[in-house]
């Protein structure tokens, strides 16, 4: 028998398994790797990105999420009527009881987005994974979407811009809004606002896949009551609020 000294396939696989087992130290979290997708793989409708905001944890006077958004996306941070604001901190007060809530308001990434419905050119669009975006290449700046959005989430760029973030192209004459930091999400990172909120220790924002029952956000939404802002409109928003 000439094959006796040759490593046979079964032995090879066994050795391989042992080596692989030894190489993987216990405790390493493979969550990130499992979630990641290859660059040539597109956004999938098996995923729906969403955000859960706990208004009881959102601190009064804190603007960490707003600052992080401005920095990540190259916004000026000004809040005039002609300045872009992708996320705003709101303070709402119940007139009868006087109870106050703080919450960040951003594009709600609706499943049935009115901005997409009204767009005459198809620039306003929803990606397969539920992220609502503006294709600036074909946006003509008509601003119908801004009128259609019940959340005032969109802004129009009035002045020429320079020194944009290479990951976030922006320019004059186009409408824009929160993208859930799509450039980060595609790299398997959290949106900048969520990261900043967590870094500040508030943990008021939770981002994840609504379609995956094992994700933290799906579990939280199953455990606690959450609401859509203007849920009566039936838009099925991707951003939900807790405690209002």
Partner 1 sequence: MARFAYWLKLAALLGVAVTFAAIPLRQATADAKLPGLENRKGDKCVEDVDIIRRNHPDLLKHHRIETLRHGIRTTKYSLKGCVECHASAKTGSVASAKDDFCVTCHAYAGVQLDCWDCHASKPKTKPVQATEQQASPTMNPVQTGGANQ
Q: Which residues bind partner 1 (CB under 8 A)?
A: 39-43, 125, 127-129, 133, 135-137, 160-161, 163-167, 169-172, 174, 182, 186
* DSSP track, 76-122: ----STTS--SEEEEEEE-TTT--EEEEEEE----SS-HHHHH-SSS
Nearer Cβ to partner 1 (148/161): 161
The rounded distance, in Å, linking the Cα atoms of 230 and 97 is: 20
Taking Cα atoms as reference points, which of 139, 147, 194 lies closest to residue 169?
139
The CB-side HSE value for 221 (13 A sphere, CA atoms) comes to 24
Nearer to partner 1, 4 or 162 (CB): 162
Closest approach, Cβ 195 to partner 1, in A, equals: 19
Q: What are phi and psi of 194, to 5 degrees?
A: -65, -45
- 170 or 202, CB closer to partner 1? 170
Smallest distance from the beta carbon of 235 to partner 1, in angstroms? Answer: 21
C-beta of 160 vs 213, nearer to partner 1: 160
CB of 63 to partner 1, least distance (A): 26
Instruction: State the nearest-atom distance from the C-beta of 44 to partner 1, in Å.
Output: 8
């Amino acid at each position: 028998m000439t094959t006796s000294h040759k490593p046979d396939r079964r032995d090879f696989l066994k050795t391989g398994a042992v080596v692989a087992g030894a190489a993987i130290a216990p405790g390493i979290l493979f969550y990130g790797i499992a979630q990641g997708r290859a660059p040539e793989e597109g956004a999938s409708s098996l995923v729906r990105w969403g955000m859960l905001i706990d208004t009881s944890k959102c601190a009064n006077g804190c603007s960490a999420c707003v600052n992080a958004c401005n920095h990540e996306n190259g916004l000026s941070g000004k809040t005039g009527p002609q300045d872009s604001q992708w996320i705003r901190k709101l303070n709402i007060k119940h007139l009868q009881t006087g109870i106050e809530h703080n919450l960040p308001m951003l594009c709600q990434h609706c499943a049935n987005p009115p901005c997409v419905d009204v767009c005459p050119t198809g620039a306003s669009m929803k990606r397969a994974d539920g992220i609502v975006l503006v294709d600036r290449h074909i946006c003509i700046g008509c601003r119908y979407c801004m009128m259609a959005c019940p959340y005032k989430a969109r802004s129009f760029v009035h002045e020429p811009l320079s020194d944009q973030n290479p990951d976030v192209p922006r320019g004059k004459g186009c409408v824009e809004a929160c993208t859930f930091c799509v450039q980060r999400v595609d790299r398997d990172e959290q949106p900048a606002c969520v990261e900043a909120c967590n870094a500040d220790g508030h943990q008021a924002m939770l981002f994840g896949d609504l379609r995956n029952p094992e994700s933290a956000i799906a579990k939280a939404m199953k455990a606690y009551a959450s609401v859509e802002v203007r849920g009566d409109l039936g838009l099925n928003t991707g951003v939900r609020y807790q405690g209002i």
